[in-house]
Structure 1
Amino acid sequence: MKYVIRSLLFVIAITGCGEKSTPGPKVVPSVKGDVYDVTTCEKELKLGEETDSSQLIDKIQIYKKAHKIYLYKNGKKVETFGISLGKHSLEGDKKKEGDMRTPIGKYKIVRKRCDEKHSRYLLISYPNAEDRAEARKNSLNPGGGISIHGQPVWNADGHGDDYTLKHDWTEGCIAVTNTALDRLWRSVELGVPIEIYP
């Protein structure tokens, strides 16, 4: 009996509980000198070939304290990835431009952009009406340009993922590994809702 229980625990430990936490093979974006080569990315985007209809998701949730991003399809969680946030994100909600915090709220993916610095961006609709009203009430500029993006060029091959995922290093964006970003890029269409929680 002990052998059966130990065997069962071993199988659970190595296979997990059914929820994927990595998207499969590591993706290494092309680098040209000290920047990402965005030629292929821009071509796919222009032709509308950046998504894979078999992988589409319909909701994204982010939990800041847990440093996790969850992808959903038809109400079911289908993938989980680790994330890095703005340097001061655990101090609360984003209040103003330059506060190095990741916002909390309900948004949408509004744009996809290829980028030489962080590979690719999924721009979110921050600031929303509530964020703008709160900033106006306090005479602040809420900032903008918040996105989900990949790793800096020095970590294009993912050798530093363990380090970057243990630190909050962005100016307010959500950073994922390049492999996770490839999964997101191929599975997210414009308009997908994204909910960000403390």
Structure 2
Amino acid sequence: MKYIVLILITLTSSAFAEVDLVKVDKSESRLYLIDGEKVVREYHVAFGKNPKGHKQQEGDERTPEGRYILDYKKEDSSFYRAMHISYPNTQDKDNAERIGVSPGGFIMVHGQRNWLGWFAPITQRFNWTNGCIALTNREMDEFMSLVKVGTPIEIQW
């Protein structure tokens, strides 16, 4: 009986985690769900085709760098489930205006393109988005169950 309880505690402990930060390391293609000081989950992710450096303008295929908020969930996306990143912030907009470009927007953490989830073992080996952060569909389900709207996301190279 003692072993069954231990197994149940191990299997369900992350279900009770309060993810208070999503951290993304672009140089390692990793996304971490963090509860306090503890990493609750870790995922391999794909980015835009030009991942190095901060997003400067629409169409540059870069993922923004800095601290943002995951501000709403989107279930009717062209991709399997999504959560919006609050890019561009005021600084991003000011920078884009200064250089005379649109900052772009609609940056998400999302699953695979609709109806192509089966292709994830291949697509997740490459940076294929237009600047978003991509997970497999199964990982996206887990992400959506663990991460609440309003959670900060830190993205760095």
Structure 2 length as normaliser, TM-score?
A: 0.85
Distance in 1 between residues matched to 2:77 and 2:85, nearest whole Å:
19
CA distance in 1, matches of 2:55, 2:19: 26
Misfit runs of 4+, over 2 Å: 52-56, 153-156, 159-162
The question of 1:134 aligning with 2:95 is answered: yes
Q: Is the 8 A contact 2:17 2:35 kept in 1?
A: no
**Which one of 116, 134, 139 corresponds to residue 180 of structure 1?**
139
Structure 1 counterpart SS, 2:92: helix
Superposed CA RMSD: 1.8
Please list the CA deviations of residues 96-122 of structure 1 after superposition, one character each: whole Å capped at 9, or x if unmatched. Answer: 011111111100011101125212110
Deviation at 1:80?
A: 0.4
Alignment of 1:75 onto 2:34: no
Alignment of 1:94-109 (within 5 A): 94-109=55-70
Q: Distance in 1 between matches of 2:156 and 2:77?
A: 29
Q: Shift in Å at residue 84 of structure 1? A: 0.6
Q: Which amino acid aligns with 2:44?
A: G
Q: Which amino acid aligns with 1:64?
A: K
Larger radius of gyration: 1
Deviation, 1:62, is 0.5
Give the AA of the match of 2:45. Answer: I
Whether 2:128 is the aligned partner of 1:169: answer: yes
Q: Secondary structure at the match of 1:117?
A: coil
Number of corresponding residues: 145
- What is the match of residue 15 of structure 1? none
Q: State the TM-score, normalized to the length of structure 1.
A: 0.69
Secondary structure (helix, strand or coil) at the match of 1:119 reads coil
Residue of structure 2 in register with 1:119 after alignment = 80
For 2:85 and 2:140, the matched residues in 1 are separated by: 14
What does the per-residue CA deviation read over 1:146-170, in whole Å, with 9 as the maximum and x for residues that have no partner? Answer: 01000123432xx432211111111
Structure 1 equivalent of residue 8 of structure 2: none
Which amino acid letter does the alignment assign opposite residue 82 of structure 2? Y
SS of equivalent to 2:58: coil
Match of 1:61 in 2: 23
